Structure 1
Amino acid sequence: MMLACAALLAGCKDAPRSIVPGGEVQQGLRLVTQYQCGACHAIPGVQGAAGGDGPALDHIGRLSYIAGGIPNQPANMVRWLRVPHAVKPGTEMPPMGLTDQEARHMAAFLYTLR
C-alpha cells in the first residue's frame, strides 16, 4: 500500500510556487503574453516570444542581477517591471503601465525561468 502511494505521489507535479509575495505564476504568464513582452524578449513557455531587441529571459530567475546591476530580488524585480526608468535611467525597457499587482504576477512567472 505504501509503495502504491509513493508511486502515485512521484507522478504528481505541483504548479510552480511563487517566491514573490502576492504573485501568482499562471497570472504572470498570462500577463507576459498579454503585454507582448515577447516582442522584445525571447521567453521560454510563451508562444511567439522570440524577440531579440531585449535580452533573452530564459534564466532570469537564477541571475544575480537584473538590468546589468540591480540585485535580483522580488521587490527590485517588481519595481523594475513597473518603472524601469526610475530604476535604471536611460534604459530601453519601456514603461508598460503595469499595476503593482500585475508586476507581482509577472515577476512570479519570471522567477520560474531558471
Structure 2
Amino acid sequence: MRILFLLPLAWLAACDSGALAPARVAGGDARRGQLLLAQYQCGTCHQIAGVASARGQLGPPLDGFGRRSYIAGSVPNTPQALERWLIDPPSMKPGTSMPAMGVSAEDARHMAAYLYALP
C-alpha cells in the first residue's frame, strides 16, 4: 500500500518544466547592473523590466532571462558566458545583430546580475 502512495509522488518529482533556476553572478550588483543597462542604452533594442525607456523591439524582451537555456539561441546560458556575451557578442556568435558596446568586464558582471534577477 505504501508503494502505491509513493509511486505517484516519485512520478511527479521526475516531471520537469524545463525552466532553469536563475543563476547567481559572483561579485555582481544587480542594482548597479540596472543602471548600467540604461547607461549602455540596451533598451534601444530590448524591453527590460525596471529600466527606464527600455521598450526596444529589435532584440528580444529580456524578462525571465535567467530561466532561459541559451543566450541568443545557441550559447549555453551561464554567468560566465553572459558576461562574455555582454562584452563582445560578435566574438561568440558571428553575424549577430547585437553590437559590441564597449562594456567592461566589471560592468558586464553587474549587468548580468540584474538580468538574472529579472522575473
Please tell me the TM-score bracket, short chain as reference.
Answer: 0.7 to 0.9
The corresponding residue for 1:108 is 113
Give the CA deviation at 1:110: 0.3
What TM-score, normalized by structure 1, do the two folds share?
0.82
Q: Distance in 1 between matches of 2:70 and 2:84?
A: 14
Higher Cα Rg, which structure: 2
The corresponding residue for 2:91 is 86
The corresponding residue for 2:54 is 49
* Partner residue of 2:79 out of 70, 74, 78: 74
Give the CA deviation at 1:96: 0.7
Count of paired positions = 97
The corresponding residue for 1:60 is 65
Q: Which runs of no fewer than 5 residues in structure 1 stay unpaired?
A: 1-17
**RMSD, aligned α-carbons:** 1.0
Detail structure 1 runs of 4+ shifted over 4 Å in the superposition: none
What TM-score, normalized by structure 2, do the two folds share?
0.79
Q: Which runs of no fewer than 5 residues in structure 2 stay unpaired?
A: 1-22
User: Percent identical across equivalent pairs?
Assistant: 54
Map 1:25-44; keep pairs closer than 5 Å.
25-44=30-49
Secondary structure at the aligned position of 1:107 is classed as helix
